[in-house]
Amino acid sequence: MDEDWLAGRFEEQRPRLRAVAYRMLGTSAEADDAVQEAWLRLHRSDADLIDNLGGWLTTVVSRVCLDMLRSRTSRREDSLDESPYDALDEDAVEPEPEALQADSLGTALLVVLDTLGPAERLAFVLHDLFGMPFDEIAPIVDKSPAAARQLASRARRRVQGASAETDRARQREVVEAFLEASRNGEFERLLTLLDPDVVLRADRTAVESSRAALAAGHSGAPALASLVRGGRAVAEVFSGRAQAAQVALVDGAYGAAWAPGGRPLSVFVIRVRDGRVAGVEVVVDPEHLAAMDVQLAS
């Protein structure tokens, strides 16, 4: 086979091969090394016997990456005495429709992938990010297709779990910033933290309590209404409010609560969307509060 023709075919495959290697290894330098090793192996092979060059090269790059990951893991175990990875889960599921796409790999995902065992990482990347079937992944990791499916399933759950934790951490940051701006009466900052279409709802007890406090001169903030829409209107309500509120987990999501003596007397259910507060529900009714799981954050 003409070497120039073969080199041209390889260059056609290079972008995909490098994408696979980068998602496997997490660094550009190692990805380039893996792709170069694939070229060397192709050059030493009888290319006339290769029916599917793209598939053959993907398999070779994957095996090179697997060896590099195992070597990396071995070095870490030698230096850090890390514990082995847990046993595989028995159940296996197909990737969710919203599975991560091959053209979108952030630093956060790379950090999570780096916690996976080499075979788990390879199975997840090849199947979930590049759509390779398990019967083709299985020989690369020296497993049966069912075992390869389990590897990807376990990795997927860990990635999804880490994503959920990241979302929760981001939610807490937004809630804390919202409470701080509210306490300090930072109207313009509140506008940046509120979604333009934010909706504020308050139960009847909250509305009545707010009006009573305002009438008695105990509050400088506007009285609550049962429904307030729009960033500016909601910012006006909260500017100077929530003086004693603190961050709390409300039914598993971050919100806020006024809890003198540790007993929640008012709860803010806060919905965060795209890094902004998109909805706030103020709950004061004792019966409703009793049905909520409220845990004050440290």
Give me the domains of the chain, ranges plus CATH numbers.
3-167 (1.20.140.160), 184-296 (3.10.450)
Q: Count CA within 13 A, CB hemisphere, residue 212.
A: 6
Contact 136, 112 (CB under 8 A): no
What is the pLDDT at residue 287? Answer: 87
Give the Cα-Cα-Cα angle 289, 291, 293 (nearest 5 degrees): 85
Give the whole-angstrom CA distance, residue 245 versus residue 269: 12
What is the pLDDT at residue 35? Answer: 94
- Residue by residue, pLDDT tens for the chain (298 residues) are 577 888 888 899 999 999 899 888 888 889 999 999 999 998 888 877 888 888 899 999 999 999 998 887 665 444 434 333 333 333 333 433 333 333 344 555 676 787 888 999 999 999 988 888 899 999 999 999 989 999 998 888 888 777 666 677 888 899 999 999 999 999 999 999 999 999 998 899 988 887 887 776 655 566 788 899 999 999 999 988 888 899 998 887 889 999 998 889 999 989 888 889 999 989 899 988 888 888 998 6
The 3 state secondary structure assigned to the chain is CCHHHHHHHHHHHHHHHHHHHHHHHCCHHHHHHHHHHHHHHHHHCCHHHCCCHHHHHHHHHHHHHHHHHHHHHHHHHHHHCCCCCCCCCCCCCCCCCCCCCCCCCCHHHHHHHCCCCHHHHHHHHHHHHCCCCHHHHHHHHCCCHHHHHHHHHHHHHHHHHHHHHHHHHHHHHHHHHHHHHHHCCCHHHHHHHEEEEEEEEECHHHHHHHHHHHHCCCCCCCCCCCEEECHHHHHHHHCCCCCCCEEEEECCEEEEEECHHHCCCEEEEEEEECCEEEEEEEECCHHHHHCCCEEECC
What is the pLDDT at residue 32? Answer: 92
What is the pLDDT at residue 158? Answer: 82
What is the pLDDT at residue 128? Answer: 86
Measured CA distances, 100 to 82, 105, 109, 132, 201 (Å): 28, 8, 9, 14, 35
What is the pLDDT at residue 253? Answer: 83
